[in-house]
Each structure stands twice: as structure tokens, then as C-alpha cells.
């Protein structure tokens, strides 16, 4: 076996590992939807989100400086994917932070479920895996504490009713 062969097989092995690892992550559910959704329970994985159209919002936030660039999928697309039928969504975070959000918010504004901030994936050690982000700089009305409390970070579950 030549050095070139060994290098090739090494690279191949790395490629297989690199492909397999995200696949495993992609399979595990990121977000759980309950209530008025298809079958009463819908689990959304990273693969499901990847199949949706991704959007970017550059906006200031109340807890950071500057205008970070957020990347994710539209909340209304997630609700449509789960076949949600309801007026209100009760969002729950990892730390059991719970808040009610009117579904109309997601239709009036391009609210996204952000998975990346400034190109870096959000993790539970930050505000991940999912941070609900409103286009705060595009609509004056959104610069208000009543909307600020709906920016749920570390989002894990949505209950539709």
C-alpha cells in the first residue's frame, strides 16, 4: 500500500464519519409540537427543518449588542408542517420558561425559529437549540416588552390550542 492509497482511505473514512455524524443529530427530535396538530403529537427533527425554506433576519435584540444575523425557518412554516390548527401557541423552553404567543404574530411578521446567530449554531449553552426571533428592527410595534417576552430561547416544545 502506497502513501497515496493510505491517505485516500483515511480521507474516505473521515468523509463517512463526517456524513454519518450530522445524520445522527438530524434524526433526533429538536422540537415537539402537541395539541391541535396532526395526530396530537408531531416531532420535528433537524432534517425536517432542513427540508423547509430558510430565512435570515438581521435585527437588534434586547440582550445583545449590535445587529446579529439570525438564520432559521419561519415559525408559520413549522406550524404548517405540523398541520397546526389553533389561535395560540404555548412555547416552552429547556428551563420550563412558558409563554403564550398568538399564532397571528407568525402571519403578521416573518418570525423565525433561529438556529444560527452570526453563522454560529446556537447551543443549549447559549440560547439554542432554537431561539424565536422577531424582525424587531423592521416593525416599530415590535420594540415593546410585550413582544420581547415572546423571544423564547432554548425552545423545545410548542403546544397549539
Partner 1 sequence: MMRLTRPLRYGGLAALILACIGLLTVAAVNIVRIERQMQISATENMTWIFGQTQIEALNLAAALSNNAEPAEVQLRFDLLVSRLNLLRDGPQWRFLSEAGLAEGLMGWRDGLLALDPAEGGDRAALAAHVAALSTALRGKASRVMSREWQIQSERLDSLGRLHLLALATVLGALISGTVLAALLIDRERRLIRSKMDQLRAKQLERDLDQERRTSEGYRRFSDLIAHQVRTPLAVIDSAMHRLTRPGNPPSPEIIRAKAEVSREAVARLVRLTDTALLMARVDRGAVEPDLACHDLDRIAAAAIEDLHESARALKTGRVILGSGNRPVTAICDPVLTGEILANLLRNAFLYSPPGSDIDVRPMQDGELAVCDISDRGPGMTPEELAVAFEDFARGARHRDLPGSGLGLPLARHLARLQDGDVTLAPRAGGGLVARLILPGAVTA
Out of 38, 126, 138, 141, name the contact with partner 1 by CB under 8 A: 126
Per-residue binding string, partner 1, 88-107, x by CB under 8 A, is: ------xx------------
Out of 79, 133, 151, 158, name the contact with partner 1 by CB under 8 A: 151
Question: Minimum distance between the CB of residue 38 and partner 1, rounded to whole angstroms?
Answer: 28
Question: Minimum distance between the CB of residue 85 and partner 1, rounded to whole angstroms?
Answer: 31
Query: Helix %, strand %, coil % for the chain, to 5?
Result: 35, 30, 35
Question: Minimum distance between the CB of residue 39 and partner 1, rounded to whole angstroms?
Answer: 27
Give which of 157, 134, 158 is closest to 146, Cα–Cα.
134
Q: In terms of DSSP H, where are the helices of 28-159?
A: 46-51, 75-81, 104-108, 145-148
Nearer to partner 1, 5 or 146 (CB): 146
Q: What are phi and psi of 73, to 5 degrees?
A: -115, 155
Q: In terms of DSSP H, where are the helices of the chain?
A: 3-27, 46-51, 75-81, 104-108, 145-148
Determine if 63 is a binding residue for partner 1 (CB under 8 A): yes
Determine if 143 is a binding residue for partner 1 (CB under 8 A): yes
Q: Rule CB under 8 A: which residues touch partner 1?
A: 62-66, 94-95, 123-127, 143-145, 148-149, 151, 154
Amino acid at each position: 500500500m502506497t502513501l497515496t492509497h493510505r491517505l485516500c482511505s483515511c480521507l474516505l473514512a473521515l468523509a463517512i464519519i463526517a456524513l454519518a455524524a450530522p445524520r445522527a443529530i438530524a434524526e433526533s427530535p429538536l422540537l415537539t409540537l402537541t395539541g391541535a396538530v396532526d395526530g396530537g403529537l408531531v416531532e420535528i427533527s433537524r432534517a425536517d427543518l432542513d427540508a423547509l425554506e430558510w430565512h435570515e433576519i438581521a435585527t437588534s435584540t434586547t440582550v445583545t449588542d449590535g445587529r446579529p444575523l439570525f438564520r432559521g425557518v419561519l415559525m408559520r412554516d413549522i406550524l404548517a408542517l405540523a398541520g397546526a390548527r389553533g389561535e395560540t401557541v404555548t412555547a416552552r423552553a429547556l428551563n420550563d420558561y412558558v409563554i403564550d404567543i398568538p399564532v397571528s404574530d407568525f402571519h403578521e411578521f416573518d418570525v423565525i425559529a433561529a438556529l444560527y446567530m452570526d453563522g454560529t449554531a446556537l447551543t443549549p449553552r447559549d440560547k439554542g437549540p432554537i431561539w424565536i426571533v422577531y424582525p424587531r428592527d423592521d416593525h416599530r410595534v415590535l420594540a415593546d416588552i410585550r413582544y420581547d417576552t415572546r423571544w423564547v430561547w432554548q425552545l423545545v416544545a410548542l403546544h397549539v390550542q
